Structure 1
Amino acid sequence: MIPEPSAIPVLHSTALYTAAAEALAGMLPTGSPVEAVLQHGARDAALDAGHGELVSASFVGQHSADVLLQVVAPLLGGAPGGPGSLVAASDVLRPSLEAATGVLGAGVLSTEAAVRPDALLGDSETVCFELRSAGEKIGFFAIRIRENDPVPAPQAPGAGVREDMSSKLGRINNVEMALTVEIGRTRMSVRDVLGLEPGAVVELDRSAGAPADILLNGRLIALGEVVVMDQDYGVRITQILDVNEGLS
């Protein structure tokens, strides 16, 4: 049984947890507005398998955090990640998780280095929110903000920011993350995606010859140009972005 927290943790202001929950609620892909309500009492009910797939993630940056999210499948257009599904629940909910952790400052969000749900909910420093829409519970959100170790004061303007971020990201040196090269994007309705057939051409939002985006777990960190090496594609780095540009 998951223990009942004795009080809201004092590691950070309650307002920071609430801001994260409200940012997440505002980005959930639902048809009706979602309200995040601070949850008190036992957390056993939070782990309800009938409420949809659990998506957990870790965030490392100015503030580091572990987060857990569950939303009823019908509000996400069925059951993402199920048999025949084109997308996973983590893909559908990632923009919401990014919005929540975005209030913590610059950093990197990873769904690969996530903590176990029972361990997160059993921690007294975790704050839980019930997600409600049209008066009905549609899921829950849990967040635990971790204290970062102090780092030396910057010695030169700008240099300290990168050093500070590198020190914090250094804690996950051995964690593998997805590095993606993106040559362009477009927006399509689900109807148009389902109507795609072999031979169809999808126009992107970038002109030929424009630099490609290099993303670390969905965060823009550099620019480059696509090259061919021994018949395999590669990317030549042309610009490393400033921390505030790429990770904010």
Structure 2
Amino acid sequence: MTTSPLPSDPNDLAIAAGEAAAEVLPAATPLVAGGAQPGTEHVVSSFAGAAVAAVAGGRIAVLVGDELVAALEASPLGGLDLAAAVQPALDAVAAVLGASAQAATQVELTLVVADLGGPFTVVPLIGSGIAAALLLPDALLAPGAAAGGTSAGAAPVASGAATGEAASVRDLGATALGGISGSGSGSGSGVIPLVHRGIEMLHGVDMEVTVELGRTRMAVRDLLALAPGAVLELDRAAGSPADLLVNGRLIARGEVVVVDEDFGLRVTEILDDQAAS
């Protein structure tokens, strides 16, 4: 198995990174990467949330719209973390750049541009409209940057014919939508079919699942006195069901079992919102 070489043109590299993000970013409609353009501080005005992750040589960011932010906030499992939801997209972008992304952090929109630390390129991610945008420092797109080469003096990435003030991301999205051709079945009219909205757009989001046997409270002196062999008494009787928590929220109970020498949980009860609270 061979690894495809990185595109030598910064514009092509930015679009390849955008395509990788579009494949895994939660969205109500399938996303495609639009054309790359020089970024300005005004790009954040069209979006509702942002997450940033560090990679070797810089930081990358994803901006998302109201739809994803609202879906995360309205999740029946409680408010979900935007940074965790877009982490797979940032990981995919880093892989295209020949690097790996650290854990993402949600940041205020007004701080995103300063966080990137210099000139950057924007790649809109387009569904039924502009659903998100990828922000890439030009230093990471310079030839040799991913391989540890110098990025000093990297020229800003141009968007093709644009020579004056860059068009806004919103205008670029409207132009790009007109040029999208159907790549699958259908008439090829360029219209991307709508899919189910709401919670279904979050199906690919990773969540932390915890099984809790019980709890107890201890004084600091007792904690300091702990030693191997000490036994802690929990607030739950032997044989009682264990709790299943998702992002700290109780959603089910079950019995602890052993599966191939590992512990597991056989779910016996799914809790509704009233019971979970």
What TM-score, normalized to structure 1? Answer: 0.48
| Higher Rg of the two aligned structures | 2
TM-score, scaled to structure 2 = 0.44
